[in-house]
Amino acid sequence: MSSSCISGGSRSGSGRSAEAGGWQSSSVSAAKGVFVSKGWLRCSVSSSVGSAGGKLPQTFTICRHLQQPYAWHSKLCAGSEGCCAWCRLVASAVAGDSCAVRPVGLADTAKKNFGGGNTAWEEKTLSKYESSEIRLVEITENLCDSSNFECNNMVEEHEELIEKWWFKLKKKYPDLFKWFCIETIEVCCPAGTYGPDCLACRGGSERPCHGNGHCDGDGTRGGDGSCSCKKEYTGQFCLDCSSGYFSSLRNETHSVCTACHAACKTCTGSSNKDCQDCKEGWIKNEDGACVDLDECAASPCKDHQYCLNTDGSFSCKACDASCVGCTGEGSQQCKTCASGYVKEDEKCTDIDECNLPEKVCAEENHDCVNTSGSYKCVCSEGFEDKDGTCVQTVKPGEEVESETTEPSHTEHVDL
């Protein structure tokens, strides 16, 4: 069987080619091999896959197992998840896992049939649809998106194994991922193990990193088994508590780290009285508890700011525009009022200069407009500013009339 959804070129020497993606022929040339782990050889290869659009602009890595006949794969799955991720996707899709990227598998074809005119005769005379090659073709044709070269390459390289499982081994090995990805082509490991030999992660395969972190390479043939701990934990096995946490439970296999009080840098319990050291911005009182330090008592802010104390810190905030110096937020916290403001009802309010007995816009054809803390003089309606003087706005028709009469006026002056 050949899959019609392949978008990349065929394997070198396989005699197959994929036309769906437009590739006409392919070949690879191996560079110097490098042993990356026991039984594995890594070679860099340059692709010369040809098409009407040119050559595939990538260099790939081939990982070939030297001992097992099936245990090799092309690392065309060049993403960070590696070949195990692509194998998991393919196995999940074939098995009908609803979490697969394109889950057109067993579940999606479960209620289908041959689609002919006499389904009952076809099911009786021909092989059952549920285990037929037609159904397998439908599944494999929809496994990968046409542009997903890595997924298509995985299917093409191992289609014979997929067929073998489908027709002969499905009942014996119902878990396709385990049989295909872990036991047969060996690109994945059982959960809780890592590396070429599927060694147990630190802390054991049942609870890698003692349940408090992630094992590097968990479930794959890569990684080094080291633990990346959750923020509460530290150490090689994620059993120790990070700074700011204390151990509320600890034995050989389990560790529970709980957050200290916000005032504590290190602690032995959850209260601020359990602090061994206080965080910056906190200080121990006479009872030995870490309490907030009031930094505002030292007046750290500038004249036009007020100090706002917070737990373990402080901040300087700008005074209200009506204030000259302040003790807090708002015009009611002013030490003195700024120019243009006056104290009324215990707060600084704007002075309306335009309503003062003495006219502030005294020049002719000016109106007063009040603003916060000030005022401005503008030309009255029908007037416009010209060089600091408000002159009457001349309408377009009047401008034309003025231009036609001006020469006669000039001539009169000349006489």
Position 11 in a domain:
no
Residues 183 and 313 reside in one and the same domain: no
Most confident among 13-17, 181-185, 209-213 (mean pLDDT) = 209-213
What is the four-CA torsion angle of 155, 160, 161, 166, rounded to 10 degrees? 100
pLDDT, position 317: 98
Residues 347 and 360 reside in one and the same domain: no
Asked which of 95-109, 116-130, 195-209 is least confident by mean pLDDT, the reply is 95-109
Residues 37 and 175 reside in one and the same domain: yes
Residues 381 and 336 reside in one and the same domain: no
Residue 197 confidence (pLDDT) above 80: yes
- 178, 80 contact by CB (below 8 A): no
* The one-letter amino acid at 305: Q
Residue 260 confidence (pLDDT) above 90: yes
pLDDT, position 166: 81
Residues sharing a CB contact under 8 Å with residue 365, sequence separation 6 or more, in sequence order: 379, 380, 383, 390, 391, 392
Choosing from 153, 188, 223, the residue where a domain stops is: 188
CA–CA dist 126, 33 (Å, integer) = 49
SS3 state of residue 278: strand
Position 222 in a domain:
no
Residues 315 and 407 reside in one and the same domain: no
DSSP conformation class of 296: G
Higher pLDDT among residues 79 and 145, named by residue: 145
b or e along 65-102 (b: 16 or more beta carbons within 10 Å of the residue's beta carbon)? beeeeebbbbbbbeeeebbbbbbbbbbbbbbbbeebeb
Residues 39 and 177 reside in one and the same domain: yes
Determine how many CB atoms are found less than 10 A away from the CB of residue 264: 27
| Residue 350, both tokens | 């704007």
For 402, the domain range is 356-415
pLDDT, position 161: 87
pLDDT, position 325: 96
Position 160 in a domain:
yes
Residue 25 confidence (pLDDT) above 70: no
Position 294 in a domain:
no
Residues 330 and 369 reside in one and the same domain: no
pLDDT, position 402: 42
**What does the pLDDT average to over 129-135?**
62
Determine how many CB atoms are found less than 10 A away from the CB of residue 411: 9
Helix locations, 171-298, DSSP H:
176
Taking all residues of the chain, what is their mean pLDDT, rounded to a whole number?
74
Residue 9 confidence (pLDDT) above 60: no
SS3 state of residue 337: strand
Residues 149 and 179 reside in one and the same domain: yes
- 142, 102 contact by CB (below 8 A): yes
**What does the pLDDT average to over 295-319?**
96
Residues 313 and 366 reside in one and the same domain: no
CA–CA dist 43, 63 (Å, integer) = 7
Choosing from 188, 212, 236, the residue where a domain stops is: 188
Band of residue 83 on the pLDDT scale cut at 50, 70, 90:
confident
Residues 44 and 171 reside in one and the same domain: yes
**What does the pLDDT average to over 126-132?**
57
* The one-letter amino acid at 242: S
Surface-to-core class of residue 388, CB atoms within 10 Å of its CB (0-12 exposed, 13-18 middle, 19+ buried): exposed
Residues 368 and 325 reside in one and the same domain: no
Choosing from 188, 204, 235, the residue where a domain stops is: 188
Band of residue 11 on the pLDDT scale cut at 50, 70, 90:
very low
Domain count, the chain: 3
Radius of gyration of the chain (CA): 41
**What does the pLDDT average to over 93-110?**
50
CA distance readout (Å), 324 to 90, 119, 308, 332, 335: 72, 92, 18, 12, 6
pLDDT, position 64: 37
Q: Which residues partner with 378 through β-bridges?
A: 367
Residues 28 and 161 reside in one and the same domain: yes
Band of residue 404 on the pLDDT scale cut at 50, 70, 90:
very low
| Residue 169, both tokens | 């081994």
Most confident among 39-53, 106-120, 167-181, 373-387 (mean pLDDT) = 373-387
pLDDT, position 80: 36
Higher pLDDT among residues 128 and 404, named by residue: 128
Residue 24 confidence (pLDDT) above 70: no
Pairing mode, strands 334-337 and 341-344: unpaired
Most confident among 93-107, 139-153, 346-360 (mean pLDDT) = 346-360
